[in-house]
A and B are shown apart, each in its own frame.
Chain A
Amino acid sequence: MSKVETILSQLKDIAANPKKAMDDFKAETGKGAVGVMPIYAPEEMIHATGFLPMGLWGAQGKTVSKARTYLPAFACSIMQQIMELQCEGAYDDLSAVLFSVPCDTLKCLSQKWKGTSPVIVFTHPQNRGLEAANQFLVTEYELVKEQLEHYLDVKITNAALENSIAIYNENRAVMREFVKVAADYPQVIDAVSRHAVFKARQFMLKEKHTALVKELIEEVKAMPVQPWDGKKVVVTGILLEPNELLDIFNEFKLAIVDDDLAQESRQIRVDVIDGEEGPLYRMAKAWQKMYGCSVATDTKKGRGKMLINKVAQTNADAVIVAMMKFCDPEEWDYPVMYREFEEKGIKNLMIEVDQEVSSFEQVKTRLQSFVEML
Chain B
Amino acid sequence: MSLTQGMKAKQLLAYYQAKNDEDARKAKERGDLVCWSASVAPPEFCITMGIEMVYPETHAAGIGAKKGAMDMLDVAERKGYNIDCCSYGRVNMGYMECLKEAAMTGVKPEVLVNSPAADVPLPDLVITCNNICNTLLKWYENLAAELDIPCIVIDVPFNHTMPIPEYAKAYIADQFRNAIAQLEVICGKPFDWKKFKEVKDQTQRSVYHWNRIADMAQYKPSPLNGFDLFNYMALIVACRSKDYAEITFKAFADELEENLKAGVYAFKGAEKTRIQWEGIAVWPHLGHTFKTLKNLGSIMTGTAYPALWDLHYDADDESLHSMAEAYTRIYINTCLSNKVEVLMGIMEKGKIDGTIYHLNRSCKLMSFLNVETAEIIKERNGKPYVSFDGDQTDPRVYSPAQYETRVQALVEMMEANMAAAE
Contacts and interface: CB of A to CB of B under 8 A. Distances in A.
A343 B89 CA distance: 24
B307 to A, nearest CB: 19
Given A105-B368, A335-B81, A123 B86 contact: no
A332 B365 contact: no
A130 interface: yes
Interface in A337-374: 338-339
A338 B153 contact: no
Given A121-B160, A133-B171, A108 B155 contact: no
Contact of A104 (B161, B361, B365): B365
A112 interface: yes
B187 interface: no
B82 A331 contact: yes
Contacts of B151: 299
A157 interface: no
A70 B175 CA distance: 36
A103 B155 contact: no
A135 B368 contact: no
B259 interface: no
Given A125-B155, A130-B178, A332 B141 contact: yes
A139 B170 CA distance: 12
Nearest to A102: B134
Nearest to A114: B372
A263 interface: no
Instruction: Find the residue from B150, B171, B174, B369 having the highest chain A CB count within 10 A.
Output: B171
B157 A107 contact: no
A298 B142 CA distance: 10
B158 interface: yes
- The number of chain A residues touching the other chain, given as a range, is 35 or more
Given A72-B368, A127-B154, A333 B144 contact: no
Contacts of A151: none
A331 B82 CA distance: 6
Given A111-B336, A299-B153, A331-B81, A132 B141 contact: no
B134 A107 contact: yes
Interface of A: 69-72, 74-75, 101-105, 107-112, 121-127, 130, 132-133, 135-136, 139-140, 294-295, 297-301, 323, 326-329, 331-336, 338-339
Interface of B: 79-82, 84-86, 89, 93, 130, 133-135, 137-142, 144-146, 150-151, 153-155, 157-158, 160-161, 165, 167-168, 170-171, 174-175, 178, 335-336, 359, 361, 363-365, 367-369, 371-372
Given A127-B153, A301-B142, 11 more contacts: A75-B364, A101-B158, A105-B368, A125-B171, A126-B155, A126-B157, A299-B144, A332-B142, A336-B145, A338-B80, A339-B80
